Chains A and B, each alone.
Chain A
Amino acid sequence: MRCAQVSPLLSAYLDEELAPNQMLRIAGHLTHCPGCRAQLAVLDRVKAALGGLEQPVADASFWPRAYREVRRSVTAARGRRWSVPRHPALAWSTAVVAVLLALVITFGPSWQPREPELAPIGAESEISALVREHAKLRASTPFAEEGRVGYILTEAEGESYE
């Protein structure tokens, strides 16, 4: 391996985070490369320096405060879910429309769609009677209907063939 290939892997080599064959190849390179050995030593010192930093601890009052804030944010989010619109005019107009609707529903005329009047079951309806009469007429005098239509048209145009 060349230095250019080894150099970017030195941190991972230091942390033993490479595949075994890579570890062995880099170890082989380091035995005869003082430059890469020096770079590895620098990285090792940086790692040790960072690991040796004092461990800061949060102020005793911090965590109770932090969880109170989480609790408060949950409550605030719940409040926003049920809040009225931000614009007062919109809020008022919505309220007025709602009240008017309630009044109309409570005290207004009770309108219901009219159902069609149906002939009582079992009794012969007017339409059925007409159909039956028409069928009888067609059977007895086949051209009577055409004559009637011609008469109607003549009447409508105001002409007379008499």
Chain B
Amino acid sequence: MDELDLALFESLMQKHQAQLYRTAYRMTGNADDAEDLVQEALVEAFRSFHRFQKGTHFDRWVYRIMSHTFIDRLRRRPKVAVESLDAELARGDGESFRREPMDGGAGPEEMALRREFNARVQEALLRIPEEYRLVVTLSDIEGLSYEEISEAVGCPLGTVRSRLHRGRTLIAEKLTTYMDGMGRRNRKK
């Protein structure tokens, strides 16, 4: 019975595991913690697998379980690997900062800037409360609709809407602080 369940669980999971890992990575900010998080969530999901109603959306169901695991785990281990924005500014190399993500045909210098920008966005994401972070990740990185997020996180549509808006606004504030800092440094040069 367990073997059959495990085989079914694995086959359903394999369709969504990449997405799950990406979400875990964005929630934690690094590969090691993402793996631990996914591992714990997988065990939890399999333990509850007998409650899954066949024929319903497996991805939303598994996301819901994993959301709880994510939040529980992040609360148990509140310290995530976040680099200090100030430390990064002190190390700055004086390159100009572009607000928009750059296109795929960028050269090595632009690629370095893109990596820097992505790192800033990830840092900003890690600095907002985890309830907002999860909703922002599911919406803007994984592309789920509000209804899907509502089911996945287990909260009303209105809560999804307000968390997403608040999360994006906080990220914008943190990125603005960084970009303003870069502007001041460039002017001093």
Q: Of A47, A53, A69, A74, which one neighbours B26 at CB under 8 angstroms? A: A53
Contacts of A134 in B (CB 8 A): none
| B69 within 8 A of partner (CB) | no
Shortest distance between the CB of B42 and any CB in chain A (Å) = 5
| A58 within 8 A of partner (CB) | yes
Which residue among A9, A67, A69, A73 has the maximum number of chain B CB atoms within 10 Å of its CB?
A: A67
CA distance A63 to B9 in the complex (A): 13
Closest to A10 in B: B165
Closest to B25 in A: A56
Q: How many residues of B contact A (CB 8 A)?
A: 45
| B83 within 8 A of partner (CB) | no
CA distance A54 to B26 in the complex (A): 10
Given A66-B39, A69-B43, A57-B18 contact (CB < 8 Å): yes
Q: Which chain A residues numbered 1 to 59 have a C-beta less than 8 Å away from chain B?
A: 8-12, 15, 17, 42-43, 45-59
Given A17-B145, A42-B172, A52-B101, A62-B140 contact (CB < 8 Å): no
Tell whether, in the assembled complex, residue A51 and residue B118 are in contact, meaning their CB atoms are under 8 Å apart: no
| B64 within 8 A of partner (CB) | no
Tell whether, in the assembled complex, residue B6 and residue A49 are in contact, meaning their CB atoms are under 8 Å apart: no
| B58 within 8 A of partner (CB) | no
Q: Which residues of A pack against B, CB within 8 Å?
A: 8-12, 15, 17, 42-43, 45-59, 62-63, 66-67, 69-71, 73-74, 77-78
Taking A70-B42, A78-B2 as known contacts, 8 extra A-B pairs with beta carbons closer than 8 A to each other, sorted by chain A number, are: A9-B165, A50-B136, A56-B31, A63-B17, A66-B39, A69-B39, A69-B43, A70-B46
Q: Which residues of B pack against A, CB within 8 Å?
A: 2, 6, 9-10, 17-18, 21-22, 25-26, 31, 34-35, 38-39, 42-43, 46-47, 99-101, 117-118, 121-122, 125, 136-137, 139-141, 143, 145-146, 161-162, 164-165, 168-169, 171-172, 175-176
